[in-house]
Amino acid sequence: MRLKSLAFAISTLFLTPQANATDLSKETEAYKNFVVAQIDNLVSDTEKFVNYLKAGELQKAKQIYPLARMYFERSEPIAESFGDLDPRIDARLADLAEEGKTEKDWSGFHKIEQVLWEKNTTKGTEETAEQLLKDVKELHAKIPTAEVTPELMITGAVDLLNEVSTTKVTGEEEIYSKTDLYDFKANIEGAEKIYELFKEKLDKKDAKLSQEIATRFAEVNGLLDKHNQAKGSYDYVDYDKLSDKEIKALAEAVNKLGEPLAQMGVLLEK
Protein backbone atom coordinates (compact mmCIF):
# COMPACT_ATOMS: atom_id res chain seq x y z
CA MET A 1 0.00 0.00 0.00
CA ARG A 2 1.36 3.45 -0.87
CA LEU A 3 2.05 5.86 2.00
CA LYS A 4 -0.42 8.41 0.63
CA SER A 5 -3.12 5.77 0.80
CA LEU A 6 -2.09 4.95 4.34
CA ALA A 7 -2.27 8.60 5.34
CA PHE A 8 -5.75 8.85 3.86
CA ALA A 9 -6.84 5.70 5.64
CA ILE A 10 -5.77 6.90 9.05
CA SER A 11 -7.21 10.36 8.40
CA THR A 12 -10.65 8.81 7.86
CA LEU A 13 -10.33 7.14 11.26
CA PHE A 14 -9.89 10.56 12.85
CA LEU A 15 -13.23 11.79 11.49
CA THR A 16 -15.06 9.64 14.04
CA PRO A 17 -14.80 10.85 17.64
CA GLN A 18 -13.28 8.25 19.96
CA ALA A 19 -14.68 9.10 23.38
CA ASN A 20 -12.71 6.41 25.20
CA ALA A 21 -9.48 6.75 23.28
CA THR A 22 -6.16 6.66 25.11
CA ASP A 23 -5.24 9.97 26.77
CA LEU A 24 -2.29 11.30 24.79
CA SER A 25 -2.17 14.83 26.18
CA LYS A 26 1.28 14.34 27.75
CA GLU A 27 2.64 13.05 24.46
CA THR A 28 1.28 15.96 22.45
CA GLU A 29 2.74 18.44 24.93
CA ALA A 30 6.10 16.69 24.81
CA TYR A 31 6.06 16.76 21.01
CA LYS A 32 5.28 20.47 20.96
CA ASN A 33 8.22 21.07 23.30
CA PHE A 34 10.42 19.00 20.99
CA VAL A 35 9.46 21.11 17.98
CA VAL A 36 9.94 24.36 19.90
CA ALA A 37 13.49 23.23 20.74
CA GLN A 38 14.15 22.30 17.11
CA ILE A 39 13.03 25.70 15.89
CA ASP A 40 15.13 27.40 18.59
CA ASN A 41 18.14 25.64 17.07
CA LEU A 42 16.96 26.44 13.55
CA VAL A 43 17.04 30.16 14.39
CA SER A 44 20.49 29.86 15.96
CA ASP A 45 22.03 27.97 13.02
CA THR A 46 20.30 30.13 10.43
CA GLU A 47 21.84 33.20 12.09
CA LYS A 48 25.26 31.55 11.80
CA PHE A 49 24.53 30.61 8.19
CA VAL A 50 23.55 34.19 7.32
CA ASN A 51 26.63 35.58 9.05
CA TYR A 52 28.88 33.25 7.05
CA LEU A 53 27.19 34.37 3.86
CA LYS A 54 27.69 38.05 4.72
CA ALA A 55 31.34 37.43 5.60
CA GLY A 56 31.99 35.56 2.36
CA GLU A 57 32.84 32.35 4.27
CA LEU A 58 31.84 29.96 1.48
CA GLN A 59 33.03 26.68 2.98
CA LYS A 60 31.59 27.39 6.42
CA ALA A 61 28.26 28.34 4.82
CA LYS A 62 28.26 25.08 2.87
CA GLN A 63 29.08 23.06 5.99
CA ILE A 64 26.30 24.51 8.13
CA TYR A 65 23.67 24.56 5.36
CA PRO A 66 22.51 20.90 5.66
CA LEU A 67 22.87 20.88 9.45
CA ALA A 68 20.67 23.95 9.91
CA ARG A 69 18.06 22.50 7.59
CA MET A 70 17.81 19.32 9.64
CA TYR A 71 16.05 21.22 12.43
CA PHE A 72 13.42 22.36 9.96
CA GLU A 73 13.03 18.93 8.39
CA ARG A 74 12.46 17.24 11.78
CA SER A 75 9.72 19.76 12.57
CA GLU A 76 7.71 19.82 9.36
CA PRO A 77 4.46 18.31 10.71
CA ILE A 78 3.99 21.59 12.59
CA ALA A 79 6.25 23.95 10.63
CA GLU A 80 4.37 23.45 7.38
CA SER A 81 1.03 24.42 8.92
CA PHE A 82 1.60 28.17 8.86
CA GLY A 83 0.38 29.36 5.47
CA ASP A 84 3.11 30.34 3.05
CA LEU A 85 5.95 30.24 5.59
CA ASP A 86 6.93 26.70 4.61
CA PRO A 87 7.36 27.48 0.89
CA ARG A 88 9.10 30.78 1.68
CA ILE A 89 11.66 28.88 3.72
CA ASP A 90 11.87 25.56 1.88
CA ALA A 91 10.53 25.80 -1.69
CA ARG A 92 12.50 24.35 -4.59
CA LEU A 93 12.57 26.12 -7.94
CA ALA A 94 10.64 23.18 -9.41
CA ASP A 95 7.87 23.73 -6.84
CA LEU A 96 7.32 27.26 -8.11
CA ALA A 97 7.11 26.11 -11.72
CA GLU A 98 4.38 23.65 -10.73
CA GLU A 99 2.43 26.55 -9.20
CA GLY A 100 2.85 28.81 -12.22
CA LYS A 101 5.34 31.07 -10.44
CA THR A 102 8.78 32.20 -11.63
CA GLU A 103 12.26 32.47 -10.19
CA LYS A 104 11.43 36.03 -9.10
CA ASP A 105 9.03 34.54 -6.55
CA TRP A 106 11.72 32.23 -5.12
CA SER A 107 13.16 32.60 -1.62
CA GLY A 108 14.63 30.49 1.15
CA PHE A 109 17.30 27.88 1.69
CA HIS A 110 17.26 26.34 -1.77
CA LYS A 111 17.69 29.66 -3.56
CA ILE A 112 20.85 30.20 -1.55
CA GLU A 113 21.87 26.58 -2.14
CA GLN A 114 21.84 27.19 -5.88
CA VAL A 115 24.26 30.12 -5.61
CA LEU A 116 26.62 28.37 -3.18
CA TRP A 117 27.03 25.23 -5.23
CA GLU A 118 26.40 26.32 -8.82
CA LYS A 119 28.28 29.63 -8.66
CA ASN A 120 30.59 28.63 -5.80
CA THR A 121 30.25 32.01 -4.11
CA THR A 122 28.30 33.76 -1.38
CA LYS A 123 27.89 36.91 -3.48
CA GLY A 124 24.32 37.69 -4.39
CA THR A 125 22.83 35.83 -1.42
CA GLU A 126 22.58 38.77 0.99
CA GLU A 127 18.98 39.82 0.34
CA THR A 128 17.68 36.25 0.24
CA ALA A 129 19.58 35.44 3.44
CA GLU A 130 18.07 38.39 5.30
CA GLN A 131 14.56 37.35 4.23
CA LEU A 132 15.24 33.73 5.20
CA LEU A 133 16.26 34.79 8.70
CA LYS A 134 13.12 36.94 9.03
CA ASP A 135 10.94 34.03 7.91
CA VAL A 136 12.62 31.60 10.30
CA LYS A 137 12.13 34.04 13.18
CA GLU A 138 8.47 34.45 12.21
CA LEU A 139 8.09 30.67 12.29
CA HIS A 140 9.76 30.65 15.69
CA ALA A 141 7.21 33.15 16.99
CA LYS A 142 4.26 31.15 15.66
CA ILE A 143 5.25 27.64 16.74
CA PRO A 144 4.04 28.08 20.36
CA THR A 145 0.56 28.92 19.02
CA ALA A 146 0.22 25.62 17.14
CA GLU A 147 -2.45 23.17 18.17
CA VAL A 148 -0.83 19.77 18.45
CA THR A 149 -3.07 16.71 18.37
CA PRO A 150 -2.37 12.96 18.24
CA GLU A 151 -3.89 13.01 14.74
CA LEU A 152 -1.41 15.63 13.59
CA MET A 153 1.46 13.63 15.04
CA ILE A 154 0.49 10.34 13.44
CA THR A 155 -0.29 11.76 10.02
CA GLY A 156 2.81 13.95 10.34
CA ALA A 157 5.03 10.93 10.96
CA VAL A 158 3.67 9.22 7.85
CA ASP A 159 4.01 12.40 5.80
CA LEU A 160 7.67 12.71 6.79
CA LEU A 161 8.31 9.23 5.41
CA ASN A 162 6.25 9.99 2.35
CA GLU A 163 8.53 12.94 1.61
CA VAL A 164 11.53 10.64 1.70
CA SER A 165 10.04 7.88 -0.44
CA THR A 166 8.60 10.15 -3.13
CA THR A 167 10.44 13.45 -3.67
CA LYS A 168 13.66 13.11 -1.69
CA VAL A 169 14.59 9.66 -2.98
CA THR A 170 14.81 11.11 -6.50
CA GLY A 171 17.43 13.67 -5.45
CA GLU A 172 15.07 16.55 -6.25
CA GLU A 173 15.29 18.22 -2.84
CA GLU A 174 18.98 19.10 -2.70
CA ILE A 175 19.60 19.16 -6.43
CA TYR A 176 22.61 21.50 -6.23
CA SER A 177 24.33 20.50 -2.97
CA LYS A 178 23.60 16.75 -3.05
CA THR A 179 23.05 16.87 0.73
CA ASP A 180 19.84 14.83 0.50
CA LEU A 181 20.90 12.25 3.08
CA TYR A 182 20.87 14.91 5.81
CA ASP A 183 17.22 15.58 4.91
CA PHE A 184 16.51 11.84 4.86
CA LYS A 185 17.95 11.42 8.34
CA ALA A 186 16.13 14.44 9.76
CA ASN A 187 12.78 13.28 8.38
CA ILE A 188 13.35 9.82 9.85
CA GLU A 189 14.36 11.33 13.19
CA GLY A 190 11.24 13.50 13.22
CA ALA A 191 9.03 10.48 12.61
CA GLU A 192 10.96 8.37 15.12
CA LYS A 193 10.51 11.01 17.82
CA ILE A 194 6.75 10.75 17.39
CA TYR A 195 6.92 6.96 17.69
CA GLU A 196 9.14 7.20 20.77
CA LEU A 197 6.65 9.49 22.49
CA PHE A 198 3.82 7.06 21.78
CA LYS A 199 5.84 3.88 22.38
CA GLU A 200 4.96 3.25 26.04
CA LYS A 201 1.23 3.35 25.38
CA LEU A 202 1.54 1.61 22.03
CA ASP A 203 3.40 -1.25 23.75
CA LYS A 204 0.36 -1.75 25.96
CA LYS A 205 -2.12 -1.39 23.12
CA ASP A 206 -0.34 -3.47 20.48
CA ALA A 207 3.12 -4.71 21.47
CA LYS A 208 3.61 -6.59 18.20
CA LEU A 209 2.96 -3.47 16.13
CA SER A 210 5.27 -1.41 18.33
CA GLN A 211 8.07 -3.94 17.93
CA GLU A 212 7.62 -4.02 14.16
CA ILE A 213 7.90 -0.23 13.98
CA ALA A 214 11.06 -0.29 16.11
CA THR A 215 12.58 -2.97 13.88
CA ARG A 216 11.76 -1.01 10.71
CA PHE A 217 13.29 2.18 12.13
CA ALA A 218 16.45 0.23 12.96
CA GLU A 219 16.64 -1.05 9.39
CA VAL A 220 16.31 2.44 7.86
CA ASN A 221 18.80 3.96 10.30
CA GLY A 222 21.22 1.12 9.60
CA LEU A 223 21.14 1.86 5.88
CA LEU A 224 21.67 5.58 6.49
CA ASP A 225 24.56 4.89 8.87
CA LYS A 226 26.44 3.18 6.05
CA HIS A 227 26.69 6.53 4.28
CA ASN A 228 27.63 8.59 7.34
CA GLN A 229 31.36 9.33 7.51
CA ALA A 230 31.29 10.39 11.18
CA LYS A 231 30.32 8.71 14.43
CA GLY A 232 28.15 10.66 16.83
CA SER A 233 27.51 13.45 14.32
CA TYR A 234 26.39 13.99 10.74
CA ASP A 235 28.72 13.83 7.75
CA TYR A 236 26.87 12.14 4.92
CA VAL A 237 28.33 11.41 1.50
CA ASP A 238 26.90 13.31 -1.45
CA TYR A 239 23.71 11.72 -2.67
CA ASP A 240 25.04 11.22 -6.21
CA LYS A 241 27.68 8.87 -4.75
CA LEU A 242 24.99 6.29 -3.96
CA SER A 243 24.34 3.49 -6.44
CA ASP A 244 20.88 2.82 -7.85
CA LYS A 245 20.82 -0.33 -5.72
CA GLU A 246 21.55 1.63 -2.54
CA ILE A 247 18.88 4.21 -3.33
CA LYS A 248 16.35 1.47 -4.03
CA ALA A 249 17.18 -0.23 -0.73
CA LEU A 250 16.56 3.02 1.17
CA ALA A 251 13.25 3.65 -0.58
CA GLU A 252 12.04 0.11 0.10
CA ALA A 253 13.03 0.28 3.76
CA VAL A 254 11.18 3.58 4.20
CA ASN A 255 8.06 2.16 2.55
CA LYS A 256 8.18 -0.91 4.81
CA LEU A 257 8.38 1.41 7.81
CA GLY A 258 5.50 3.59 6.64
CA GLU A 259 2.91 0.82 6.68
CA PRO A 260 3.14 -0.16 10.38
CA LEU A 261 3.81 3.44 11.42
CA ALA A 262 0.46 4.53 9.96
CA GLN A 263 -1.21 1.88 12.12
CA MET A 264 -0.35 3.87 15.23
CA GLY A 265 -3.87 5.20 14.74
CA VAL A 266 -4.83 2.20 16.92
CA LEU A 267 -4.04 4.48 19.85
CA LEU A 268 -7.10 6.55 18.98
CA GLU A 269 -9.45 3.62 19.00
CA LYS A 270 -11.65 2.70 21.95
Mean local confidence (pLDDT), 12-22:
48
Instruction: State if pTM tops 0.75.
Output: yes
pLDDT band for 3, please (50, 70, 90 cuts).
very low
Which residues are 228's β-sheet partners?
A: 236
Q: How many domains does the chain have?
A: 1
Element (H, E) at 64: helix 58-74
CATH no. for residue 9? 1.20.1420.20
pLDDT for the residue numbered 213 = 97
How many whole angstroms separate alpha carbon 14 and alpha carbon 68? Answer: 33
3-class DSSP assignment, residue 145: helix
Dihedral angle of Cα 170, 175, 178, 183, to the nearest 10 degrees:
-70
Rg, the chain, Cα only: 19
State yes or no: pLDDT of 19 exceeds 80. Answer: no
- Classify residue 249 as exposed, middle or buried by CB count within 10 Å of its CB (0-12, 13-18, 19+): middle
- In the chain, the percentage of residues whose pLDDT exceeds 70 is 92
The pLDDT tens digits of the residues spanning 42-74 come to: 999 999 999 999 999 999 999 999 999 999 999
Q: Is the pLDDT of residue 167 over 90?
A: no
For the CA atoms of 150, 29, 195, 187, what is the dihedral angle to 10 degrees? 100
Domain with 106 in it: 3-13+22-268
**DSSP per-residue codes, 181-199:** HHHHHHHHHHHHHHHHHHH
